Amino acid sequence: MTLWRCANALRRHHAQVVLANTARDPRWTGVAARMMGIPVVYRHENDEPLRNHPYYQIIYGWVPTHHIVNSESTRDTLSPDRLIGCSRKISPTFPMALT
C-alpha cells in the first residue's frame, strides 16, 4: 500500500528526480522511483561506510542512482561513477547531468 501511494504521488507531481535526505526515503519512495525509472539521489547523513549486508546493499546501494557523501569512509564504499558531490571535507566532483 505504501509503495503504491509513493508511486502515485510521484506520478501525480511529475517527479523528475527524488532527493532522499533521510534513511527512510530510499525504503519506499526510492524503490517506487527506481521502479518508475526516476533517478534517486541519496544524501548520506552519517560519516560511516555502508554495511556489508544485503539489506543495506539494496536500499543504499541499488536504490540510489547517485550519492552525495560527507566523508571519505562513505565515499570509499560506493562506486565512483555514482557520486555527484561531497561536502567541504573532501574534494567534490559534479557531473553535468543526472543520467
Does residue 93 belong to any structural domain of this protein? no
Q: Which domain holds residue 72?
A: 2-86
User: What separation, in Å, do the N-terminal and C-terminal C-alpha atoms of the chain show?
Assistant: 29
Checking DSSP bridges between strand 83-86 and strand 66-69, what pairing results, if any? parallel
Within-domain flag for 96: no
Q: What's the CATH code of the domain at 41?
A: 3.40.50.2000
pLDDT score recorded for residue 33 = 93
Average predicted confidence (pLDDT) for the chain: 79
Residue 92 belongs to some domain of the structure: no
Q: In sequence order, what are the beta bridge partners of 68? A: 43, 85
Against a cut of 0.85, is the pTM above it? no
Is 48 within a domain? yes
Is position 98 within any domain? Answer: no
The domain tally of the chain equals 1
Output the pLDDT for position 47.
67
